[in-house]
Structure 1
């Protein structure tokens, strides 16, 4: 395992960021937030994203190049590609990136070995500093393979405040876990004030204004939760 102290990085860094997940935006916005901070600290850094998100226009706005993989959701709905074919396609597209781009740092969000195990070769044989962004999930959704696969990484970052979530770590491996708190796309000075938000949406001071965020991960209970919240608000 490498450490940030033991690893010697060149002056011009190459950072590969893997943002492939479901239909939500969290995986992409977290890594984009990290990419922005890297670029701010080291302007000469070369960034490259691998993503399947349909919101890749966010990367275009930041002038960050990316490789777009077929969306798992769209592929499954269209029945164009079987699960096995998708896995072979992902591996065929992802593996050459390590040889061609030769990243000094790899940052992966949520999918510890890739959506279709397509990161395994890069994790096993890639000569780079590997960082895993471990967003918490329901504890019953974990399996031992995905927990133990974190041993391939040099650093695990939890985008939560310390001990507010359960983050299972691999047994028998001394992998550092860093609690980063919420990783937000915008910084505090960029956020709108309360007054500006009301002005933008033409909402009077006496009117109730709420933000209900249920994520974008396709949770089947979201609609029921929304109805429950709206019922409580109306009462």
Structure 2
């Protein structure tokens, strides 16, 4: 059996991580399955690290829609030609697409006329309901829609004529796949002892996040004797300003989900993948809410707070930040947050997704 995955590029790594998680779950169920990826993600090396072949498509620039028509069409033709070649020679029995029905810039249009089983992964966002917007197209092309949310979590349109499965969050590593604490710390180059706080802002490394990170590190330093392990985002292009602080250490590792056991606490944004990973792995976390973006981070923060599973704070609200840091310093409070976090995201939806796919083959 042959399976082709398509993951679109994004501000972070969500699409790629989600498809990799499903691919790993399928591989666990069908060991001899042949899996290949096509993606325009600039982090395509992660596919190779997970043991799968990958064809890198051209990544559309941030100003893609501002390019003249010939320039846009050239990019589309090159990517479609690559996809057409993969379909012709790889001959997949199954194609899984995340997160635009025909690819980010129409990359996957050649798939429309290719005869195989097709699965669409549709994560709802705040700005628009992708399922509702593309319902007719989804119903005409796909045999299965996977929605990586709980059913009560989203009010999106459910295609009437397509088998649909709400999987819950899809994660690249489950709790039982995490490394032991001492091994995780060695892998990250962290000291075996001491209170260590993860500081990270997803995979995309937006330049505007640097000011938020600096605010956190400035406000959080003090007499607590904590070490701040600052994750360098895989897609970050600019240099991170050097620091001479002994309590700050830059770390680079993917997938971090293997190593959440290394940390006593975390400071992270409310991005979808980062939030669900930290909750599932039970890391006591201070979640930073940033304005704008495609997701409703404020709503997600309220959901986490209502379950007492994390500590949301708006960016640059120093008073609340200090209050939350005091809570993270309390062992009993951390234990409560960790337990509630695990309850909020109890299972990995990747296995649910894989089982749903097997049902249509």
Give the TM-score category using the shorter length: 0.7 to 0.9
1:137 aligns with 2:129: no
The structure that is helix-richer by fraction is: 2
Match of 2:269 in 1: 213
Kindly indicate whether the alpha-carbon contact (under 8 Å) linking 1:95 and 1:121 is maintained by their aligned counterparts in 2. yes
| Partner SS, residue 106 of structure 1 | strand
Match of 1:232 among 320, 323, 340: 320
Kindly indicate whether the alpha-carbon contact (under 8 Å) linking 1:109 and 1:134 is maintained by their aligned counterparts in 2. yes
- Flag the structure with more relative contact order, 1 or 2, with Cα contacts below 8 A and sequence separation at least 6: 1
Unaligned runs of 5+ in 2: 198-223, 227-263, 274-289, 294-312, 324-361
Kindly indicate whether the alpha-carbon contact (under 8 Å) linking 2:83 and 2:110 is maintained by their aligned counterparts in 1. no
Q: Distance in 2 between matches of 1:143 and 1:185?
A: 23
Match of 1:202 among 182, 194, 202: 194
1:103 aligns with 2:92: yes
Kindly indicate whether the alpha-carbon contact (under 8 Å) linking 1:156 and 1:176 is maintained by their aligned counterparts in 2. yes
- Give the aligned length: 217
CA RMSD of aligned residues (A): 3.4
The structure that is strand-richer by fraction is: 2
Alignment map for 1:138-153 (pairs within 5 Å): 138=126, 140=128, 142=130, 146-151=134-139, 152-153=141-142
Match of 1:5 in 2: none
Q: TM-score, normalization: structure 2?
A: 0.52
Kindly indicate whether the alpha-carbon contact (under 8 Å) linking 2:9 and 2:42 is maintained by their aligned counterparts in 1. no
Q: TM-score, normalization: structure 1?
A: 0.77
Alignment map for 1:155-194 (pairs within 5 Å): 155-170=144-159, 173-191=160-178
Unaligned runs of 5+ in 1: 1-12
Q: Distance in 2 between matches of 1:230 and 1:210?
A: 17
Cα deviation 1:50-79 (Å, max 9, x = unaligned) = 0112222221112211100111237859x7
